[in-house]
A and B are shown apart, each in its own frame.
Chain A
Amino acid sequence: MRVVIIGASFAGVAAAFEVRHIHPDAEIMLLEKQDTLGYIPSGLHLYWDKKISDLDEARFVTEGQLDKHGIVYHLNATVQKVNTTQKIITYDQHDLSDQLSYDKLIIAAGSRQLSEKITGSAQESVLKYKRYDEAQAVLIKVEESEHITIIGGGQVGVEAADLLTTMEKQVTLVESMDYVLFKYLDEDMIKPIEKNMTEKGVDLRMRQTVSSVEMESDQKVTVCLGEGSVTSDAVIMGVNVRPHLPFLDKTIKQHTDQTIAVDRYLRTSVEDVFAVGDCIQLSGPGEDRVYVPLINNAVRTGIVAAANLIEPSRTFKGSLRTIGTRVFGKYIASTGMTEAESLFTDRTVESHRQEVRLTSLADSDTVTLKYVYDAKTHELLGAQMISDANILEKINVLALAIQSKQTLEDLQQTDYFFNPAYSQMTATTNLIAWMDERADEDEN
């Protein structure tokens, strides 16, 4: 059996390893457009944060690991066409066109950072750095720049704004919503971040949509907004990623948002063709299908597709859009449904925000937690956290609770260790009204 995988990033590589694990005899081939393997998309942030000293250290897999598992990979190989009737793939490698037949095909071609609505955003001077070669170029450009405009206040944009201000750059951040990180946090949770952003001198332009980017004669770049414009030395694209799949043949059904339509087994509309990672929609926090481009989803979908190659055996369990990061001095994390997003569910949802101490010691840090839950059943649906201390791991507890459909009362019954230096009377992740450090409000 020959399994061909298009794209050798998180989804593709995870699928390859799992196929090898399940089918020791399969012939596995990865086709990858880029000339290096396994670059981590936020590698540049690690570098700016001085967590690594060379961009090349930001790799999640090496060629050696693939070799060891007998996985064949072609770098610099761009798939041009998929013919699902004849089961043949056409790809270009080093200016030569070649063909390859497959028994099973996994499409893991991911996404790219590109805007089709912002005129001029495709030009090189508008910086993107999901890929290694892009990141290298951005590194140099940013070093030369003093004033940088970031388009988009999502995770990438806000992290970049933080790191660049720390590097003493002047930063303007443009976001079309009312507040940053709106997919992950509710507006009442974001205040401390926005306060710190302003204090650190970030020029925040909320409720502004970029319509075009124009090059000026003096190497400067102007970003045109609905009202006014910003001219700076460089522009970073922090907009959402999207699939780019010009090679698909018409028989593979796509949704209107260009993602490939798959069932719960990650099978496409064509037999023996699977799709994973950033090129599909998943069942999201509200249980309907949404687009959640995250590495964890890419890896998990890769594994599930591999398990279903011969016959459908494992369904994909969906995504809670769990994230965790540190920006502007705060650790923030989120999983599941936000209160704002509960708009899209028919459930009646309630929420509660509380601030609790992390340990039993006098100088304990606190964390602000927000719970979103079903008003009737008390099933936990979402959680958000913000703290000065590193509480990121705790979000996984709540993610697991949501995935296993626990209620607030169930959560109070879970078994946790007590050690005064590391915990307090009740677990941090329990909603217990009398534990509020600041019993101020009950939302709704």
Chain B
Amino acid sequence: MKIEHFLEKNEVREITIFNQLVLNGGTLSYGKMLNHLGVSKASLENDLSSIAVRIEGFDQKVQLQYDGQTIGLSMSDDLSLQQIYRLYLDQSIKLQIITFLFKHQEFSITQLTQKLAISESSLFRKIKELNSHLKEFGIKIRNGQMQGEELQIRYFYFQFNCYIEDKATFLAEHPDDRLTQMIDAMEKFLDVTITPENRERLKIWLIISNARVSIIDKQAKRLRTQMKAYRKDPFFHKIQVFVLRYFSRYSIEVDEVESMIHFAFLLAFPVLTEPDFHEYRLLRDRHAPIASMDTLIAETIINHFKYRRLPYMLERDMSYHLTHIHTRLYFFQGDIEIYEYEGIIAKEKQIVGTNVVSFARTLLKTSTKTLADKTGESNSLLKMELLKYISLLVLITFKMASVIQVGIDLKMDGLYKETLGELLILKLKPIKGVRVEHYDPTKIYDLVLTNEEPKDQANYDDARIYILSEILSSFDMVNIQRIIQELN
């Protein structure tokens, strides 16, 4: 599903015009714009005048000039494309249908046609269009209700409120006291720290969850099957106890499904910090589907790049992100494409090379085969997870490139040793991707520079050793640079 699916065709075109202008430094000729849009000049003129009317509300902060030859866009510094999207989305009927449905959980056709001031037939048409996009989430609007697996419904509303609806409005509409109390209690009970950014995410999730907790006859067949592997999971158990205790304070009956839903969410989205997640990782069953996929993919990545091993914290970080990716693939269906997928893939290819992208595809194929059994590039979830794999790979290569550890171990009298060592460090420091220091026997190095043949190779573990011919000579410097490149 894409953001533009909430807009009408002409609105999408108008947004594209903005987009193109921004991508092209603010001006574009008619010819190029027509080429891009594939429409007639008359219809472009139409779109431009429609835009002009729409942006009147911005009070000169956005200006569009067009004269039949070129189109120019200027925006004040405190305004971005985001706000222009917002302008279009705020008027979207489809968006209002979803918002209404969330608020009321059930509607009658007359109720909605009155509220939105549209005809019955156009309401049906809009619902039909929405349903075609909701399909990838495995849910649909039917008989005035959102139908499908409960986890999927909440997940959709969550993505919707994060990326389509105005997040700030949504949060403002739902007063806060009990939620804050709930999150504080959760933090205490799970013994975790919830950062402000994660707190906002969790808040949106809990607003949605609490609005739906009392709904009878929730569907959860798929989730129950998926959770079979996690019945004994320690984090699931904690969530379960929390959910039961929290709701025992109200006249709200909760079943196991409620805890299952929270479990899936908390592991799939960044709510826990890495250190808190790490605590859980030490306890979880390593043979359960997500954990074993994390291990498999991590090993594949390490082998692919021919790393011996990753630095401890990087390895932890990788595992943290992999769990998010794999939990989503395991539990969820569908996604909202918040980034222009094709564009990003093309850009990534330019920056990181086709290798990384195709390797990420291989990873996705491996993980989806076991976890998700979903294929086809048209599925937005797979697209978004592919982007995440790519980002992760880029992150790892960057970090790995920057951590070539060089130790200087000169065998000479104290004063010389120190001065020459410092000079060497000074000379090597500007080289990208190295960290140079005096040799410390308790640490692990990739490269050790010394001036005498070592008596016992084993002293330096697996590090490469370079014996300096003439300290500070350009001959040595060239060789050192070559070795560093090789190590990279």
- Residue positions of A touching B, CB distance < 8 A: 111, 115-118, 176-178, 182-183, 207, 209, 211, 226-227, 239-243, 255-259, 281, 284, 288, 290-291, 293, 340-341, 343-344, 346
Contact = CB atoms under 8 A, between A and B. Distances in A.
Contact of B248 (A182, A226, A346): A182
B121 interface: no
14 contacts: A117-B216, A176-B240, A183-B248, A211-B255, A211-B256, A226-B231, A255-B250, A257-B214, A281-B251, A290-B250, A291-B251, A341-B249, A344-B185, A346-B184
B251 A209 contact: no
Interface residues of B, number: 27
A239 B254 CA distance: 11
Contact of A209 (B185, B250, B256): B256
Given A177-B241, A178-B241, A343 B188 contact: yes
Give me the 6 closest cross-chain CB pairs, A-B, nearest first: A257-B250, A117-B255, A290-B249, A257-B251, A291-B251, A209-B256
B171 interface: no
Contacts of A340: 245
Given A243-B251, A256-B210, A346-B184, A227 B231 contact: yes
Given A176-B256, A182-B245, A288-B181, A116 B216 contact: yes
B253 A115 contact: yes
A111 B251 contact: yes
B244 interface: yes
Contacts of A111: 251
Interface string B200-229: 000000000011011010000000000000
B487 interface: no
A343 B241 contact: no
B189 interface: yes
Contacts of B255: 117-118, 209, 211
A430 B188 CA distance: 30
Given A240-B253, A242-B251, A288-B181, A343 B245 contact: yes
A207 B253 CA distance: 16
Nearest to A292: B249
Given A211-B255, A290-B249, 5 more contacts: A207-B237, A288-B178, A293-B251, A341-B249, A344-B181
B46 to A, nearest CB: 46
B412 interface: no
Given A207-B237, A343-B189, A284 B251 contact: no
A344 B245 CA distance: 10
Contacts of A178: 241
B346 interface: no
B249 A291 contact: yes
B252 interface: yes
B185 A226 contact: no
Contacts of A117: 216, 253-255
Given A288-B181, A346-B184, A257 B252 contact: yes
Contacts of B188: 343
A276 to B, nearest CB: 15
Interface of B: 178, 181, 184-185, 188-189, 210-211, 213-214, 216, 231, 237, 240-241, 244-246, 248-256
Contacts of A258: 214, 251
A114 to B, nearest CB: 9
A177 B253 contact: no
Most chain B CB inside 10 Å of its own CB: which residue of A117, A211, A346: A117
A344 B242 CA distance: 11
A321 B267 CA distance: 36
A240 B245 contact: no
B249 A242 contact: no
Most chain A CB inside 10 Å of its own CB: which residue of B181, B237, B251, B253: B251
Contacts of B249: 284, 290-291, 341, 344
Contacts of B256: 176, 209, 211, 226
A242 B231 CA distance: 28
B244 A242 contact: no
A317 B463 CA distance: 73
A281 B251 CA distance: 8
A291 B252 CA distance: 9
A441 B124 CA distance: 67
B245 A341 contact: yes
Contact of B214 (A256, A343, A344): A256
B248 A240 contact: yes
Contacts of A226: 231, 256
Contacts of B181: 288, 344
A349 B252 CA distance: 27
Nearest to B213: A256
A117 B244 CA distance: 14
Given A176-B256, A207-B237, A259 B185 contact: no
A279 B252 CA distance: 12
Contacts of B231: 226-227
A242 B185 contact: no
A257 B215 CA distance: 10
A281 B250 contact: yes
A259 B251 CA distance: 7
A243 B213 CA distance: 16
Contacts of A182: 244-245, 248
A135 B256 CA distance: 29
A420 B189 CA distance: 44
B232 to A, nearest CB: 10
Contacts of B214: 256-258
Contacts of A293: 251
A50 B316 CA distance: 63
A118 B184 CA distance: 30
Contacts of A115: 253
Contacts of B189: 343
Contacts of A255: 250
A12 B253 CA distance: 25
A116 B215 CA distance: 9
Nearest to A178: B241
A242 B188 CA distance: 29
A115 B256 CA distance: 14
Contacts of B210: 256
